[in-house]
A and B are shown apart, each in its own frame.
Chain A
Amino acid sequence: MSGLDITDLSKHYGSFHAVKSISLGVLPGEFVVMVGPSGCGKSTLLRMIAGLETVDGGMIRVGDMDVTHAEPSKRGVAMVFQNYALYPHMTVDGNMGFGLRMAGASREVIAAAVSRAAGILRIADHLPKLPKGLSGGQKQRVAIGRAITRAPKIFLFDEPLSNLDAELRTRMRVELGRLHQDLGATMIYVTHDQVEAMTMADRIVVLRDGEIEQMGPPLDLYNRPANRFVAGFLGAPRMNIVAARIVAAEDRVVTVEAACLGRIPLELDVTEGRALLPGEPVTLGLRPEAFRGGDLPLRLIVQLVESLGRETLVHGHPIGVGTALGDPEGNGGDGAEDALVIQLPDQQRPRMGDAFEARTDRRALYLFDADGRTRRFARVG
């Protein structure tokens, strides 16, 4: 079992810098999930690790071996694609054994590896079928089985479950987790799905514009996002961002004023960064689930109510902030949003257009400076 070491990896497409000097160490047996907005370079990075893209600079090591320029098949990695990429003219059996066949393994070895993988994934019944005779979930299982038969040191998954329906996705997610435990293999997993990221990852890597924004265990990232981007990226619905201004500052405590919340003194957790002097614009962050009562009232005009049964999402425009109902982006100047989302833990039916008062606690507030860096985290628990 090997880990993966990436140092200063970069990639250009023409003049476009798709991967910018990324360094990342993955421990043996670790499950790393990569997230980030579309086009940020997740697939590119994964494909560079697999050897499907050339490397412009930097180094990739699998275990102790430098594989930066090795053939894809010589790297000890296997990849599972979003659209399965099964060989349509080969049976399930043939698909799964293809890698070993190319490596010159004997019939018996191939058969043993295939039946072991088929057993793990419970697709033994489908071995003689062609891929076109399989359901989406079965196809993805075969694709994973194909990866397993090769007994790779590292598994790479590029959005493997996104073509499946929600129910199947949930089941497969659990299964993949079990598989990871059974095999104990190193896995790198790209997804857009928050739940997948949060539940499966030992560590999440957040990418943006070809760079790593932050990495760490899921809850660390959720609770202590290094900047407003990461804070906004993790968690659904997204964290509410409210524009504010410093009105007083002394040592580690600043007083901020926001139109909808009034004046609030806050203790800083991070002192390095730009100086927070009075008059400095900042933003405050509030997770939607943070409105469970507290000392801070917040009134808003209800614009949309989503009743999900177990919870209710109320979208609204805070009273006291310049109205910008017509703004389709819903964004104020400073990355702050005009519309807030409040997640209520029960079933409520506020009417649209009515005023609605929610209460939150100052302990739940995040503070970001004008550079977007987090200066204060919410207090958890």
Chain B
Amino acid sequence: MMYETSRNGVAGRPGHAREHLTYLLMLAPALLLLGVFVFVPVVLVIAGSFYEFSLTSEDGRFVGLGNYLRIAGDEIFWIALRNNIIIVVGSVVLQVGMGTVLAAILDRGIGVGRTLLRTIIFAPMVISSVAVGLVWTIILDPNVGPMNAAVTGLGLTPPRLGWLGDPTVSIWVILGIATWQYTGFLMVLILAGLQSVPKELYQAAALDGATGLRAFWHITLPSIRNVLVVAVLITTVGGFKIFDLVFVTTGGGPANATQVLGTYIYLQAFNIGDLGHAHAMSVVLLMIAVVLGWLQLRVSRTA
């Protein structure tokens, strides 16, 4: 009510129109950039998803929802989507989970070498995914890579077809690499959240009988809830957007076993040249992103 009145007050003031104009002028450059680099491409992609066309054909053929129907029947699209979901769920569980545990250990458990440890765990984050992918293909190489040697040394048998060549393990290996790369980032994010929890809360909790895991559950987790929500969202969006790591390590192989939406859209667009199909899949990915963005807004409002 108060808000409404004061708004009306502003609206009733003379010079209100001029103020609006000023706001508009100040926003204009940003709106223009947004329009050119976000809005226009989005419209083009949506429009393109209703046509069948290729990189070389001059104009496409209107097929209505045909491309979307093809997606529904495209087995590899569903593999890619499943893989994205594996990456998303796995990343949330592993990266956010381990990030939280590591952050808690650094926050409360370890006194010495904390900065060094934090730097080491964070380090992979500053390396580009492409470089990370290349390094791991060497580590995981079935012929000369140290991973096979290590696993054999432990008396176990590494996969005969190679970590990245075995269709049943490769997506999990990629999940592992992504976890190695991003857990440090989440740890630092969550650590920042943990360090903003007042020490007295833990002391009060200790007096109330909550220490160790119980304090973690009843005090720590609820206190960093917002940070965790952000972490989960970042990880989820990242999991749907994943491209370069897969592209460099397996290229979506062996035989589409690690295809994700990003690489599959790329494959359809640039290798196969079926742009309509690629556009339609991009629109699906966009919808997923929009839903996630909406969720983020909702969650951050209620929190």
Task: Name A's B-contacting residues (CB within 8 A).
Answer: 47, 50-52, 71-73, 77-79, 81, 83, 85-90, 98-99, 102-103, 146, 150
Q: Which of B31-56 contact A (CB under 8 A)?
A: none
Of the listed stretches B14-22, B202-210, B252-260, chain A binds: B202-210
Residues of A within 8 A of B209 (CB): 71-73, 99, 102-103
Given A88-B223, A89-B223, A102-B214, CB of A79 within 8 Å of CB of B198? no
How many CB-defined contacts (below 8 Å) exist between A and B? Answer: 65
Report the Cα distance A78→B209, complex, angstroms: 11
Report the Cα distance A103→B222, complex, angstroms: 20
| Interface bin, chain B | 10 to 19
For the complex, is B211 an interface residue (Cβ under 8 Å from A)? yes
Q: A147 CB to closest chain B CB, in angstroms?
A: 9
**Which of B204, B210, B214, B219 is A81 in contact with, Cβ under 8 Å?**
B204
Residues of A within 8 A of B208 (CB): 73, 98-99, 102, 146, 150
Query: Which label, helix, strand, loop or mixed, suits the secondary structure of the B interface?
Result: helix
Residues of A within 8 A of B25 (CB): none
**Which of A77, A87, A88, A89 is B207 in contact with, Cβ under 8 Å?**
A77
Residues of B within 8 A of A102 (CB): 208-210, 214, 218
Report the Cα distance A88→B221, complex, angstroms: 12
User: Could you give 13 example pairs across A and B, Cβ below 8 Å?
Assistant: A50-B207, A71-B209, A72-B203, A73-B209, A81-B204, A85-B201, A86-B204, A87-B218, A89-B222, A98-B205, A98-B208, A103-B209, A146-B208
B214 to chain A: closest residue by CB? A102
Query: Which label, helix, strand, loop or mixed, suits the secondary structure of the A interface?
Result: loop
In the complex, are the beta carbons of B203 and A81 less than 8 A apart? yes
In the complex, are the beta carbons of A51 and B223 less than 8 A apart? no
In the complex, are the beta carbons of B203 and A85 less than 8 A apart? yes
Report the Cα distance A257→B248, complex, angstroms: 93
Q: Which of B163-211 contact A (CB under 8 A)?
A: 198, 200-201, 203-211
Report the Cα distance A103→B210, complex, angstroms: 9
For the complex, is B225 an interface residue (Cβ under 8 Å from A)? yes
Given A51-B206, A73-B209, CB of A81 within 8 Å of CB of B200? yes
Query: Interface code B218-233, partner A: CB below 8 Å = 1, 0 otherwise?
Result: 1100110100000000
In the complex, are the beta carbons of A73 and B198 less than 8 A apart? no
| Most chain A CB within a 10 A radius of its CB, from B200, B214, B225 | B200
Q: A103 CB to closest chain B CB, in angstroms?
A: 6
In the complex, are the beta carbons of A99 and B207 less than 8 A apart? yes
Residues of A within 8 A of B219 (CB): 87
Residues of B within 8 A of A90 (CB): 222
Q: A243 CB to closest chain B CB, in angstroms?
A: 45
**Which of B206, B214, B225 is A52 in contact with, Cβ under 8 Å?**
B206
In the complex, are the beta carbons of A72 and B200 less than 8 A apart? no
Residues of A within 8 A of B218 (CB): 87, 98, 102
